[in-house]
Amino acid sequence: MTDNILDNIDMKQLGKLLEQARKQKGMTQEDVAKLIEVSTTTMIAIEKGDRPFQPAELIILARTYRKSVSDFVRQRPVIKPFDIQLAGISHNNEQAEAEIKPCIFQLEELCQNHLELEQIMQSSLPRYYPPEYTVSGMPIETTAEAIANQERQRLGLGDSPIGLFRDILEMSVGLRIFYISMPEKYAEIYGYNEELGGCIGINVTHPEELRRWSLAYGYLHFLIHRHQSVCDLVNIREQYETLPKSEQLAETFAKYFFMPTSSLLKQFNGRCQANQGGKFTQTDLFSLAHYYGVSVIAMTLRLEEMQLLPAGTWDNLKERGFRIRQTQQDLHLKQLLERNDLNPIHYQHLAIEALNQGLITEGQFAKFFQVDRLEARHIAELLREYSSEMDEQAGNLDLRQNSNERAVYAI
Amino acid sequence: MQFKSSHLLIDTCCLINLCASGELLHILQVISISVKTNIVQEVKRELQKIEHLEEFESAVEQGLLLIVDFASDTEINTFITYAMEIDDGEAATGAIAISRGWAMATDDKKATKFLSQQAPSLQIVSTPEIIKYWSETANIDLFKLSNILQEIRVKARYSPSKNHFLKVGGKW
């Protein structure tokens, strides 16, 4: 008689994965029990890892969940699910949870993939984490501005506009940032655990200015309450006073981080001086917003707050029915250019090198990018333009002049 | 190239390439004179997710590609063992091919290396070898062949690895 191959697998872990896959599919233990012709009690025991089961049953379950058997049996790093709190939601909590859960699952899976790639390639994501900022009991405006200024200093950004914000957070901080599709009202998911560090999911369906703003939210969560995972909604101005303190701080931080007072004041004055009669026109407003990579509303409100524009300017503009996208097009302001790929740069590089070196299959590569094989080949083609295209031996060459000087680099 | 067995199991990556050639049905007709062509359930499911592979559906309907599934506990256990290393399509194709002594077709670097280690006697053929076999058997002229290779390169974004023995001077 053939031995049961599943006897060699960690049944507790397999049970957890099966439970997770069933929930993602929205099925009950009873539904699934019927499929493999066992009782519900047996199915519960299988998911707890208390009862061995047959390989053929695993194949049926994988096919039902539209997952690969490989997803259940290959050695993958185990990650603790994020315990995400929904920020600023006081009612319809259950409905909101049901809406956002698939996105949280997706973020967790992508983070797990990233760790798996790091293990395969033996190359972890470098972390340049600052210590957590202490904010309790401090006034919001002052605290937010101070953190924004310190972080700008630390990241070497001076007070210039911030381009390629996502890349900065990925490369200069070491955050894992994924752009995933979420229902419109959700802006960002921030998650943290010891194995992964800081992870951020951004709603890819939003315009770039909003995605950048949401990234700043995620970054602030990382800076002030790193270990607390949270999901943010798109906040609207009228709701500011009702938001939790941490959300108010995030909103205020984003404002100072993208539009530092000294720099904005200089730009504003420069534009007024250049215009006849010292005017500040609608064109100036749009170009400033574009220059700092923020929305027109964010720029208008910031200028109102700095008393550079009269209070109520935004409301007046709105009442006059001006159209933001149309005006941007008329002014030939190009769309902000940021990467909106699903995965972080580090993830993409690891995946293409692993494929080139024959450490993962094409099917696995496609799964890492959550696309079909043809699209995966397209992605691979694009990434190969930037990758070493080397085999395993050449890809592992240490290019430093003298690899014995390792200690010097480590300092 | 000669097929060393009665059946050939074709993997996802090869089938995508053969579909891109626009000649899948003819290629399968020509090959089937020497060897019966099959795919596993896992490959079928994966191909069904990809758009514009109409020729694949026709090949299944016309019986040029037979769908096979696991027939014994040994095949299932081998599949699961392989799935710990490679993807389901390659794992199932390899498990069934090795168990039944069939040949398999794949272009995947990792799958080829892994399965050759598992069964050194397993015959693994690639897209370029299948195209070469078909073009020689069916007397395909060079102009047409060149167009077909171009179609595969463009539509399936496939080009053999730089070490492939059918690649000469960077071209195939």
pLDDT in tens, B50-88: 888 888 999 999 999 999 999 999 999 999 999 999 999
Kindly list the distances between the CA atom of residue B3 and the CA atoms of A14, A23, A143, B89, B105, in Å, as whole numbers in the listed order.
Answer: 40, 46, 74, 21, 11
Task: Give the pLDDT score at B80.
Answer: 95
Same-domain check for residues A322 and A380: no
Say how many C-beta atoms besides its own lie within 10 A of residue A115's C-beta: 19
Q: Which residues of A touch B106 (CB under 8 A)?
A: none
**Closest by Cα among A47, A99, A98, A106 to A82:** A106
pLDDT in the model for residue A411 = 40
pLDDT, tens digit, 9 for 90 and up, residues A320-336: 877 777 777 777 777 77
For residue range A171-223, list pLDDT tens digits in order: 999 999 999 999 999 999 999 998 999 999 999 999 999 999 999 999 999 99
Question: A352 and A290 in one domain?
Answer: no
Residue A383 near chain B (CB below 8 Å): no
Chain B contact for A359 (CB, 8 A cutoff):
yes
User: Are the Cβ atoms of A361 and B111 closer than 8 angstroms?
Assistant: yes
For residue B14, the chain A residues in CB contact (below 8 A) are none
Tell whether the model's pLDDT for residue A137 goes beyond 60: yes
Helix, strand, coil % in chain B, rounded to nearest 5: 55, 10, 35
Residue A339 lies in a domain: no
Our count of domains for chain A comes to 4
Q: Rounded CA gap, A355 and A114, in Å?
A: 14
- CA-based nearest residue in chain A for residue B19: A374
Q: Which residue shows structure tokens 């185990």?
A: A78
What is this model's ipTM? 0.92
Amino acid at A167: D
In this predicted structure, the answer to whether residue A377 has a pLDDT above a threshold of 70 is: yes
Note whether A326 and A399 are same-domain residues: no
pLDDT value of residue A303: 96
Tokens of A257: 């981080």
Q: Which fold has domain B7-155?
A: Rossmann fold (3.40.50)
Confidence of residue A409 (pLDDT cuts 50, 70, 90): very low
Q: Which of A169, A172, A212 is nearest to A188 (CA)?
A: A212
Tell me the whole-structure pTM to 2 decimals. 0.88
Tell me which chain B residues have a C-beta less than 8 angstroms from the C-beta of A4. 77
Of B50, B73, B90, the CB nearest to A363: B90
What pLDDT sits at residue A393? Answer: 58
The answer to whether residue A3 neighbours chain B at the CB level (below 8 Å) is yes
Q: What percentage of chain A has pLDDT greater than the value 90?
A: 62
Query: Which chain B residue's Cα is nearest to A372?
Result: B50
- Measure the CA dihedral B141/B144/B148/B151, to 10°: 160
Q: Considering only alpha carbons, which residue of chain B is nearest residue A382? A: B157
- Which chain A residues are closer than 8 Å to B46 by Cβ? 363, 372-373
Asked if A380 and B73 come within 8 Å (Cβ–Cβ), the reply is no
Structural domain boundaries enclosing A229: 86-258
Alpha helices by DSSP H, listed for A259-372, are 261-274, 282-292, 296-305, 313-319, 324-330, 345-356, 362-368
Asked if residue A224 and residue A92 are part of one domain, the reply reads yes
CATH of the domain at A45: 1.10.260.40
Residue A183: inside a domain:
yes
Question: Are A208 and A63 part of one and the same domain?
Answer: no
State residue A410's pLDDT score.
45
Calpha distance A175→A201 (Å, rounded): 11
E strand residue ranges, B11-152? 36-40, 66-68, 103-105, 124-125
Domain edge (last residue) among A199, A229, A258: A258
Interface of A with B in 54-113 (CB under 8 A): 55-56, 58-59, 62-63, 68-70, 73-75
pLDDT of residue A309: 95
Place of tokens 């699961």: B80
The domain limits of chain B are 7-155
Which of A69, A119, A368, A390 to mutate to test binding with chain B, by most B CBs within 10 Å of its CB? A69
